[in-house]
Chain A
Amino acid sequence: MLPTKKGRFGRYGGMFIPETLMPAVIELEEAYKKAKRDPKFKRELTAHLKEYAGRPTSLYFAERLTEHLGGARIYLKREDLAHTGAHKINNTLGQVLLARAMGKTRIIAETGAGMHGVATATAAARFGLKCIVYMGTEDIRRQAMNVHRMELLGARVEPVEKGSCTLKDAINEAIRDWVTNVRSTHYVIGSVVGPHPYPMMVRDFQSVIGREVKAQMKRVNGSWPDLMVACVGGGSNAMGLFYTFVDTKAEMIGVEAAGKGLSLGKHSATLTAGSRGILHGALSYLLQTRDGQIKEAHSVAAGLDYPGTGPEHAYYKETGRVKYVAVTDHKALMAFKMLSELEGIIPALESAHAVAHVVEIAPKLPKKKTVVICLSGRGDKDLEEVRRLT
């Protein structure tokens, strides 16, 4: 069972954080272990996921997309239908319940595309906790709608005008806030990144996706999917889908953002084109210079625009269990349009990366093969940015 007690997935993971935060992550790990064993916590979370977040989300057979591509049968795991429009709510409900159990009164979060910020603000509103969301000014510009949503939900959006003004810088600021207010505050990290126990805990909260897919596929097809595809920035929707199937024979592909193209150096393809290093508390893959300075990432999808990735993904890359590929902004935009026109489903630009890779490979796969795409979020937030770019 991974991670190890020290929070390692193979050589990856760990807890590389200032001493001031060590008591907080140790407290969190204890609280999480206790909650995991507590049937009441589990019942409560399950009930909120069902009644409040709208789970289970459907597994939808994408008939016209399948026909159009002429190969494998394509299913969409509809996380876009979960409350707040993305898979992020699975994790924030879990963490906010945990924060409440730990007696924390203040919630902070970082956000890139704004989906995690909205999901955190939502859970905080639901349980009456104060919420502050750190967001890069570049992301505030391109995801304006989500800023309004967070504010309407009673959260304060703290603009971060540092570095690339995106997700990485928002995480830095959130960590600085946490160091300062560590006694009263729980930091709701939005992906399978950060120091132990976050990568494990966020994965566990998100693994409801894979568990549902397993049951749903069995119902419609009598077996597990042959191939699963999900986008990877930090990698929480991908881990959520993959984790249940790690010990099966199902194939898995994580799709990173190749941005303007890997050769141009303007991308977020950490696993495909990065190297080992330490960022935000964990040893994983990074985009960095020869000196170990963190490089700026680029992607049309704000939620993938991050120069790091989850340590468990780094581990699966090393063992070869999951294959990682990268898709350019251009192809993601084409897939965004294609899914909208063929299925009447507007995907988030992040999820469009996964769709784009399937568009490429599905025609070459036999018709009896089944593919599940994690449609991690809806694309309403991206309309303005897409209109600006096309």
Chain B
Amino acid sequence: MSVRKLFRGLKKDGKKALLPFLTVGDPSAAATVELAQVMEKAGAHGMEMGLPFSDPLADGPTIQASSQRALTSGFTVAKYLKTLAEVKKKTSFPLIAMTYYNPVFKMGLDTFAKRLAAAGACAAIIPDLPPEEALPWARAAKQNSIETIFLVAPNTPDERVIKADKLSTGFLYYVSVTGVTGARKALPRDILDNLRRVRRLAKNPVVVGFGVSGPRQARLLKDEAHGVIVGSALVDLAHRSYGKKGWKKKVGSFVERLIRAMG
């Protein structure tokens, strides 16, 4: 299923999307597959699948550490693609690849897009690829039916929001804070005003990520956003609990609580 289709369906049902993020390969490929299954069962609508990168400069400490763990254990791009395919086989929700640009560039844009599609991903988010530099990738992605999602931030001026929205297929990613990824206790005070501004300008659904750490924030955002992405909080929970007694219930119930908060 494409991301576009997902949001069309959610709109019809009057629902909001919950898209969890995982660093693929942390702590192992098998764990990623299991975690994705648990999240789908708990009701998540799709997954953001992070490719571990050595220099994740848009990420805070939690995802940095998680990427480092995956890389130290010998995780590679080939293993990443294989894990994606494995998750695809065992789940039916859309898989969105999240990667920094250098691994894509190194493999070659077209090859990367082709292999993503073959592995079953339907979309990609590249946080260090702004619209100015995105045309070659957008072309390769389109040719391989990969949707590309661009990001906008609180300090993004209107004309840039429009530009990013035009290039985006699937949804527009609203970065809730000026800052790196990471769970935060409180979101910025002007977040709802800013979200309204972005929604007014965008034709795509607008999904909020960065800093969303729990049900309280999901509830705050539900009326203004089409969905939320929860990354660091889940990566951290998975890291602390995976493999321990009752971990599936723990991770599952966190996802359920997030969805209930947006219901």
Contacts and interface: CB of A to CB of B under 8 A. Distances in A.
B186 to A, nearest CB: 15
B153 A20 contact: yes
B154 to A, nearest CB: 8
B156 to A, nearest CB: 6
Contact of A163 (B55, B102, B103, B160): B55
Nearest to A172: B57
A288 interface: yes
Interface stretch (B15-23, B175-183, B216-224, B253-261): B175-183
Given A14-B133, A292-B77, A292-B102, A176 B180 contact: yes
Nearest to B103: A292
A6 interface: yes
Interface string B51-77: 001110110100010000001000011
Contacts of A18: 57-58, 127-128, 130, 151, 153, 175
Contacts of A294: 54-55, 102
A22 interface: yes
A176 B127 CA distance: 13
A54 interface: no
A108 interface: no
A17 B105 CA distance: 14
Interface string A325-347: 00000000000000000000000
B179 A179 contact: yes
B157 A20 contact: no
B105 to A, nearest CB: 6
B150 interface: yes
B153 A19 contact: yes
B11 to A, nearest CB: 25
Interface in A7-44: 14-20, 22-23
A223 interface: no
A175 B107 CA distance: 25
Interface in A83-111: none
Contact of A16 (B101, B103, B107, B179): B101
B132 A291 contact: no
A286 B179 CA distance: 26
Contacts of B54: 163, 293-294
Given A179-B179, A180-B180, A293-B71, A17 B102 contact: no
Contact of B152 (A19, A172, A175): A19
Nearest to A24: B155
Interface string A160-190: 0011000010001001100111110000000
A278 interface: yes
Nearest to A291: B77
Contact of A19 (B53, B71, B103, B156): B156
Interface in B3-53: 53
B138 interface: no
A291 B76 CA distance: 7
A277 interface: yes
Contacts of B127: 18
Contacts of A276: 105
B103 to A, nearest CB: 4
A291 B106 contact: yes
B180 A22 contact: no
Interface residues of B, number: 36
Contacts of B179: 20, 179-180
B102 A277 contact: yes
A20 B175 contact: yes
Nearest to A278: B102
A387 interface: no
A294 B103 CA distance: 10
A7 to B, nearest CB: 9
A279 interface: yes
B105 A277 contact: yes
B232 to A, nearest CB: 14
A68 interface: no
B57 A176 contact: yes
A151 B15 CA distance: 54
Contacts of B155: 20, 23, 182-183
Given A16-B128, A23-B156, A292 B106 contact: yes
Contacts of B180: 176, 179-180
A275 to B, nearest CB: 8
B164 interface: yes
Contacts of A176: 57, 60, 180
A15 B175 CA distance: 19
Contacts of A163: 54-55
A181 B178 CA distance: 7
A131 B103 CA distance: 34
Contacts of A141: none
Contacts of B191: none
Contact of B55 (A22, A172, A179): A172
Nearest to A281: B128
Contacts of A181: 178
B133 A19 contact: no
A290 interface: yes
Nearest to A176: B180
Given A16-B129, A172-B57, 10 more contacts: A17-B128, A19-B160, A20-B153, A23-B160, A163-B55, A176-B60, A183-B155, A288-B102, A291-B103, A292-B107
29 contacts: A15-B132, A15-B133, A16-B101, A18-B128, A18-B151, A19-B156, A19-B160, A20-B153, A20-B156, A22-B132, A22-B156, A23-B156, A23-B157, A23-B160, A168-B55, A172-B55, A176-B60, A179-B58, A278-B105, A279-B55, A288-B102, A288-B106, A291-B106, A292-B102, A292-B104, A292-B107, A293-B53, A293-B54, A294-B54
The 5 closest A-B pairs by CB, nearest first: A292-B106, A292-B103, A20-B153, A180-B179, A293-B54
Interface of A: 6, 14-20, 22-23, 162-163, 168, 172, 175-176, 179-183, 276-281, 283, 286, 288, 290-294
